A and B are shown apart, each in its own frame.
Chain A
Amino acid sequence: MAMTRDITCHQAVALVSDYLEGALARRDRRRLERHLADCGACSAYLDQMRATIALSGSVGPEDLSNEAVARLVDVFEKYHRENSGESPN
């Protein structure tokens, strides 16, 4: 193992989320990038974090009941009728 690492794996993983947010101070970012460059395990952890975030982005909103939608559309129609003087559509 290279002895040039100035942070341990344990310290590196603590920086990963902020790194992906672009929120690390330059010094920490350099330290992390140096560590990642010769640590396959932490690079795998970075991949896990990226994949986790991407997956959260594809979760999407939960299903909405038709009833709830219909109720809100009623509110809309009523509002529009009262405020435009003509029936919608």
Chain B
Amino acid sequence: MEDEALLERILGGDHDAFRDLVERYQMSLVRLARYYVKSEASAEDVAQDTWIAVMQGLERFEGRSSFKTWLFRIAANRARKTGTREYRVVTVDPVDPVSSARFNEGGMWNEAPVPFTELINDKLANAGVLEACRNAIRDLPEPQQSVVTLRDVEGLSTREVSDLLELSEANTRVLLHRGRAKIRETLEETLTGGRSWQ
């Protein structure tokens, strides 16, 4: 069921609809809050406060943005008030997404990469690949992890991500690039079974 349909039912006091919405977004809210606050426990508090704010504000929600964007914005604002972390001053170095060792002196590939698409579509490999991808995202340092999660896992726009995380759009793109490059590297190891080129 779409978020908007659930919201209608929630306004009528339907707690099953509320449960569905919580199951859909709670982990994402905790994850987002974790960007600003120091502990898992305070992130969970922020998420709970966010749900209370949602209940209080739901009647006034006009649907000018998607519910998800509205929800994430509430959580980010609350987390920011609670939190003490500062990522805004991150310095952004030039990105070298692939190890220089993979290229010859003329900047050409020593050994061509293998396309993933067909490898991923192989059903036998699929479960392991998804797990590898999840772990690779979880292993990313902040703020890369939050950027990749919001952009590629949650599917928000780069603009929305940069607003939620208080990063410039340019920085957001560089961090996204770096995070994606690391995940790609992990998947390459998982899918092609090693680093024959090294």
Contact = CB atoms under 8 A, between A and B. Distances in A.
Q: Are A and B interaction partners?
A: yes
B134 A59 contact: yes
A25 interface: no
Interface stretch (B73-81, B85-93, B148-156): B148-156
A73 B52 CA distance: 11
A70 to B, nearest CB: 9
Given A47-B116, A89-B13, A62 B27 contact: yes
A21 B52 contact: no
Interface in A39-65: 40-42, 44-45, 47-53, 55-64
Given A8-B108, A9-B109, A68 B133 contact: no
Interface of B: 13-15, 18-19, 22-28, 31, 44, 48, 51-52, 55, 94-98, 100, 103, 106-109, 112-117, 120, 129-130, 133-134, 137, 148, 152-153, 155, 158, 173, 176-177, 180-181, 183-184, 187-188
Interface of A: 1, 8-11, 13-14, 16-18, 21, 23, 40-42, 44-45, 47-53, 55-64, 68-69, 71-73, 75-77, 79-80, 83-84, 86, 88-89
21 contacts: A8-B108, A14-B96, A17-B95, A41-B109, A41-B113, A45-B113, A47-B117, A48-B115, A56-B148, A57-B155, A60-B153, A61-B24, A68-B44, A69-B23, A72-B51, A73-B15, A76-B51, A79-B55, A88-B13, A88-B14, A88-B15
